[in-house]
Structure 1
Amino acid sequence: MVGTDNDVATTAGNAPARQDPLGTKPVGRLAVSLAVPAIIAQACNALYTIVDRLFLAHIPQVGDLAMTGVGVCFPILLAVSSFASLVGMGGAPLASIELGRGDRAKAERILGASVAALLVVAIVLPTLLQVFKAPILMAFGASEATLPYAMDFLTIYLSGTVFVQFALGLNPFITAQGRARVAMTSTLIGALSSVALDPLFIFTFGMGVRGAALANVIAQALSALWVLAFLGSPRSAVRLRPRRIRLSPVLLPVLALGVSPFIMQFTECVIQVVFNSSLQRYGGDDYVGAMTIITSLMQLITVFSNGMTQGVQPIIGYNFGARRFDRVRRAYRGMFVVQIALNSAMTAAFILAPAPFAALFTSDPSIASIVVAMLPVFCCGMGIFGIQNVVQCVFVGMGQAKPSLFLAIFRKIILLVPLALVLPHVAGLGTLGVFLAEPISDITSALVAGLLFRGLTPALLSE
């Protein structure tokens, strides 16, 4: 049984679901029905960090320091969630392909092995980070003034790593079935819980950054319980069965495919470290705080980009597995147009009116002036960068790990990190050089992605 939330087809055994909406419903309507809930889900995920910062910034006297301290933790949060992407974004497309082929048993083996891998991550990763968190945070751009806030937040947040792994790592397996509304509900539960608990813990109970972290942990736990309950129920086309939860060789292709989104997200952690440490060196806490605000605003763009790709990817994976290549083409062509248009519209809003966006996060005139000056510079390449988002979505959806991995490495490791380190020294650019690295990398990598896509896709979709 595989289907959208409104139309579920049933089949016997492992026979292909010929009437499954992923393979039969008009691609345009299907993409909208899957992408809109996925975008809402991405918006909910973004709320975890954006809302934390909005509330923390309004703590009397110490709000800007608290917000900056939590911002320094952001690379570690990205690192934790990147391991969930390694497993979930590698396993879910493969499960979708197997559903398209009619092999439900193999899809369930992939899910069970993925759960086992997430459990291992949830034990090992927070243990290491708890031991070394103080020197890591100082290396990541914390100062003596912001370190206590960063330590308080991270200590509590890491205690809920298992919930983060299950909520983020298993939700793609729901989307892979075409059940975008169910996947959206899991993130909606977590986000609304966080929004409700943040002011209660931060202000009413006077817990400050520790309250923000505790609200986050509880919210992720509620989301994880929802995901596990659905995947273990008869409603799920890919059923989570206890006997399947074990490490097995099926993890090898999962990790091979998941390494691309893992690198995309983990290198974002590296980039945030480079940004924060460079800005701390050349500008101090005000510039680190401004970057915290700018990266929060950039999440509003990635909400649409990531939500759209997560919604359309099951269509590509299912139909690629079923060899319905005409539907694959229609899916990615529409996604190119819509994603570039949306990215460009939001980028234009940031460029034309940065001041109101800065005012949402800070009343400090020094930090606000940096945001107003640098936000247009930082985001000006995001419109065309939609090309790379779509190309990577298509490659991952078709199970093509190598080109997707190359694109991830090319933008982050080959371009962005070296540029962020070198440009501040060029012609005395200083902090401006750090902000310029982003648009140069975005535009260059988008053009390379387009050329790679044009060169490889015809052979992959040949009849």
Structure 2
Amino acid sequence: MVMQFLASFMLGGMNRILAGFGSTAIAAAGIYFRLQSFVFMPVFGLNQGYMPIMGYNYGHNNPERMKRTFKSTLLVAVAFTTTGFIIFQTVPELLIKMFNSDPQLLQIGTNALKKISIAFPVIGPAIIISTTFQALGNGFPSLVFSFLRQIIVLLPVMYLLGEFFGLEYLWFAFPISEAASILPASIWLRLKFKRIFKKMEETEELIG
């Protein structure tokens, strides 16, 4: 429910900012969100299998399997999103033409897809990190980083880039917000893993 509210708030704020550049900019963003769902759909499907496996190994004090599961899932997620990045960078006009071939929309949409998709290789790990917190029984960090990414960083940066540099550079707000959120998220998860694995080792020593 909270995640849906954040997404709705973000979309509303983004559309208000883009409205200053005309309806074509809003249309370009709409096309992007339709296309990006095809890139991230496999990652969300991967999540459905990853979360219970990670949670099971956490509950059974199996740090080695937790590490292997996390690393392998991370690599697969990066592979999916990097493939999406390559497609968006190489054939953006073809993707836009699937919806509309208006020259202005092609120009704005192509620029948007190229700029926004720079974030794709980072979004894969971000999704897995968020899911990992939930699998470990701690969903609060996921909420914090979603709020940071979608509201605290994205909207202000989008507004400032649009205000000072124009629509062409406004789309850089997406990779900037992803980079700004994945760094603290990675550090937080690393520290959490360290505490969990240390506790598991101590438990193993007591049992042994």
- TM-score normalised to the size of structure 1? 0.41
Over 3 Å counting, the alpha-carbon distance change for 1:433 and 1:275 in structure 2 is: farther
1:384 aligns with 2:94: no
Q: Matches of 2:113 and 2:56 in 1, distance apart?
A: 39
| Distance in 1 (alpha carbons) for counterparts of 2:68 and 2:40 | 23
Code of the aligned partner of 2:193: T
Query: In percent, how many aligned pairs have the same letter?
Result: 25
Q: Cα distance, 1:446 vs. partner? A: 1.9
Cα drift, residue 333 of structure 1: 1.1
Structure 1 segments unaligned to the other structure (5+ residues): 1-82, 84-261
Q: Does 1:266 align with 2:2?
A: no
> Does residue 449 of the first structure (1) align with residue 189 of the second (2)?
no
State how 1:262-341 maps to structure 2 within 5 Å. 262-263=2-3, 265-281=4-20, 283-341=21-79
Measure, in 2, the Cα distance between the counterparts of 1:268 and 1:431.
22
Read off the aligned partner of 1:406 and give its amino acid letter: V
Letter in 2 for 1:323: N
Q: Which amino acid aligns with 2:64?
A: D
Could you give the per-residue CA deviations for residues 365-412 of structure 1, whole angstroms, max 9, x where no partner exists? 221221112210011111022222111111101111232222222212
Higher helix share: 2
3-state SS in 1 of match to 2:147:
helix
State the structure with more CA Rg.
Answer: 1
| CA drift at 1:433 | 4.2
Question: How far, CA to CA, are the matches of 1:371 and 1:358 in structure 2?
Answer: 6
Q: Deviations over 1:333-383 (max 9, x none)?
A: 111111112211211110111011111111322212211122100111110
CA distance in 1, matches of 2:186, 2:127: 10
Tell me the equivalent position of 1:245. none
What residue number does 1:431 align with? Answer: 167
Say which SS state the counterpart of residue 99 (structure 2) adopts: coil
Query: 8 Å contact 2:111–2:168 — kept in the other structure?
Result: no
1:456 shift after superposition: 1.6
- Which amino acid is 1:272 matched to? L
Match of 2:88 among 350, 353, 360: 350
- Could you tell me how far apart the structure 2 residues matched to 1:413 and 1:276 are? 13
8 A contact 2:85–2:117 mirrored in 1? yes
The answer to whether residue 138 in structure 2 is matched with residue 400 in structure 1 is yes
Compute the displacement of 1:460 (Å): 2.0
Corresponding residue for 1:372? Answer: 110
| Gaps in structure 2 of 5+ consecutive residues | 201-208
Task: Say if 2:109 is the partner of 1:360.
Answer: no
How far 1:441 sits from its partner (Å)?
Answer: 0.8
- Correspondence 1:129-208 to 2 at 5 A: none
Match of 1:356, SS?
helix
Inter-partner Cα distance in structure 2 for 1:339 and 1:456: 21
Partner of 1:422: 160
CA distance in 1, matches of 2:123, 2:180: 9
Could you tell me the TM-score, scaled by structure 2's length? 0.88
Does the C-alpha gap of structure 1 residues 395 and 448 become closer, same or farther in structure 2, counting only changes over 3 Å? same
Q: Give 1:267 deviation, angstroms.
A: 1.8
CA distance in 2, matches of 1:279, 1:404: 27
State the match for 2:205 in structure 1. none
SS at match of 1:380: helix
RMSD of aligned residue pairs (Cα, Å): 1.7
CA contact (8 A) 2:145 2:181 kept: yes
